[in-house]
Amino acid sequence: MKAIGILTSGGDAPGMNAAIRAVVRTAIYYGYKVYGIEKGYKGLLSEEIIEMDLSSVGDIIQRGGTILKSSRCDEFRTEEGRKKAVEILEKFGIENLVVIGGDGSFNGAKKLSELGVSTIGIPGTIDNDLAYTDYTIGFDTAMNTIIDAISKIRDTSSSHDRINIVEVMGRHCGDLALYAGLAGGAESIVVPEMDIKTDDIVKRLKTTQKRGKKHSIIVLAEGATSIADGAIGLKKAINEGDEGADVRVTVLGHVQRGGAPSAFDRILASRLGNKAVELLIEGKSSRVVGIKDNKIIDLDIDEALSMTNTFDEETYEMAKVLSI
């Protein structure tokens, strides 16, 4: 009987379990054996491989994290490492592999396909940094986690007439900062894609304070290199610009990576997991699945990885207008 392997790789994301569930259930529905590979490429190399059945994925659609665990694995970046991985897959009779992860994991999947393993990538990362798809699994949930945190911080910020800097994840992509900042009503949003200086932020704070704003929220993306020393550097710069400013910093960190996946992420993950298996059954390989204009799409991994993210400057500028 033909077999499909599945692994999760890179930073975990809420919704990965829903994708795992869809892959396992669809594969078994079409008569395939399914092997779960634990801890991403690292687990593949250490043969942490378990056969899965329909009940293996029971009661997980609502759970954050990934039951297959995830990892980052330097050995797999080597040719010898990948050749060892192919031998292990062959030993288990696994000719098809679904990789749930980000661009790094997709690069690994592409190289496995060049060694004869049929691979399909599912975009699982909270960063939303894959240009070929409108959304990656986990982005919507992480965005809502940030919005909830901003709302709580706004409560205390308004009690003390404070400026709160909220640092969010996204690696080199500002989507989490932009959309959560907009939805959270942030007064300033700092992203890697826009060259924002601390002086700009200090000036804006003074303008909004003049019109009566007693408290402010600044959302800062971790990858925003235009601000030296990140949130701490920005706090220092604000205090230098206005000694009276009462500034606090909240780094949301890995809170953004957990939590029950949103309905959007569960539905997206289910659709993408189902599509990934259908592509393997059709004999496709070295492709990734995604969503464009609410339609499920698939395209060649190289084509997907060659696309560059376009930052939504129009929404960024609108957010500035709406928070004056």
Rounded to an integer, what distance in angstroms lies between the CA atom of residue 95 and that of residue 93?
6
Task: Give the nearest residue (CB) to ligand F6P.
Answer: 11
Strand-pairing partners, residue 264, are none
Annotation-wise, does 185 bind a ligand? Answer: yes
Show the site string, 24-43: x = touches ligand ADP by CB under 6 A, - = not. Answer: -----------------x--
Residues 6+ apart with CB under 8 A from 245: 163, 205, 238, 239
Annotation-wise, does 214 bind a ligand? Answer: yes
Choose the one of ligand ADP, ligand F6P, none that binds residue 8, judging by a C-beta under 5 to 8 angstroms depending on kind.
none
Tell me how far, at minimum, the Cβ of 63 lies from ligand ADP, in Å: 19
Annotation-wise, does 271 bind a ligand? Answer: no
Footprint on residues 118-177 left by ligand ADP (CB under 6 A): 125
Contact between 9 and 99 (Cβ < 8 Å): yes
Which is nearer to ligand ADP, 41 or 135 (by Cβ)?
41
Which residue out of 127, 129, 140, 265 is catalytically annotated?
127
Q: What is the DSSP string of 86-146?
A: HHHHHHTTEEEEEEEE-HHHHHHHHHHHHTT-EEEEEEB-TT---TTSS--BTHHHHHHHH
Is residue 246 annotated as a catalytic residue, yes or no? no
> Is residue 104 at the binding interface for ligand ADP, with CB under 6 A as the rule?
yes
Which span (107-115, 137-145, 256-264, 282-290) binds ligand ADP, by CB under 6 A?
107-115
Choose the one of ligand F6P, ligand ADP, none that binds residue 113, judging by a C-beta under 5 to 8 angstroms depending on kind.
none
Query: Tokens representing 112?
Result: 């496995």
Annotation-wise, does 152 bind a ligand? Answer: no
Smallest Cα–Cα separation from 269: which of 253, 289, 252? 289
Tell me how far, at minimum, the Cβ of 73 lies from ligand F6P, in Å: 12
Smallest Cα–Cα separation from 15: which of 206, 255, 272? 272
Contact between 11 and 126 (Cβ < 8 Å): yes
Smallest Cα–Cα separation from 123: which of 249, 229, 276? 276
Which is nearer to ligand F6P, 137 or 280 (by Cβ)?
137
Which residues are known catalytic residues? 127
Binding residues vs ligand ADP (CB under 6 A): 9-11, 41, 72-73, 76-77, 101-105, 107-108, 111, 125
